[in-house]
Copies of this chain bind each other. A is one copy, B any other.
Amino acid sequence: MQQLIDYIEQFVRLDSETVAKLIKLAEKETYTKKQHILQQGQRCNKIWFLTKGMVRKYYLSEGKEITIWIHTGNETFTSLQSYAQNMPAEEYLQACEDTEVISITRSNSEKLAHYPQIAAFVNAMMGREFANIDRHSRELSQRDARGKYEYLSKIAPEVVKRAKLGHIASLLGISQETLCRIRRG
């Protein structure tokens, strides 16, 4: 839980009352390797914060898994489309290792939003996430296979270190054979 508080305090200072409320409304969850945190078709009504392990976001396209992103630590994640617009999720969230997260439901999140520090944090965090997705998709769409891999290595070294080759290749939009050859040198 301290990890989440530290993360939030990167953005805003928290007073003890707000911290107490947060602890009350957040829940710890654990998942084993390969377990799904969210399945396609479910309505996603939580935001998670990853404290340990690794989580992969992917969807199915013509039967094949397309990896969208891999989270490795101290990050929030959710199916934004589903959470924000209360629609069935298009993607899966799956633990790639034994994983621990802190979850906050939408209704608890709404309660917390009355605390101005939390509201400010959510705005700042969302703004940053938005900008990140924007930049990453831009960078990954412009570079060749090696450039994509180098970019990912720079911004997400843990992913490159811990995730499976096939998942990384899919995330980069290249074949795993090509990624293997890039790594060979």
Contact = CB atoms under 8 A, between A and B. Distances in A.
A128 to B, nearest CB: 7
Nearest to A135: B81
Interface stretch (A20-28, A136-144, A156-164, A176-184): A136-144
B81 A134 contact: yes
Given A61-B142, A173-B141, A134 B133 contact: yes
Interface string A41-73: 000000000000000000001000010100000
A130 B85 CA distance: 11
How many copies of this kind of chain does the complex include?
2
A85 B142 contact: no
Main SS class of interface, A: helix
Interface residues of A, number: 21
Contacts of A131: 80-81, 84-85
A91 to B, nearest CB: 9
A75 to B, nearest CB: 16
8 contacts: A66-B138, A81-B134, A81-B135, A84-B131, A133-B134, A137-B137, A141-B141, A142-B173
Given A84-B130, A133-B133, 5 more contacts: A68-B138, A80-B127, A130-B133, A137-B141, A141-B141
Interface of A: 61, 66, 68, 80-81, 84-85, 126-128, 130-131, 133-135, 137-138, 140-142, 173
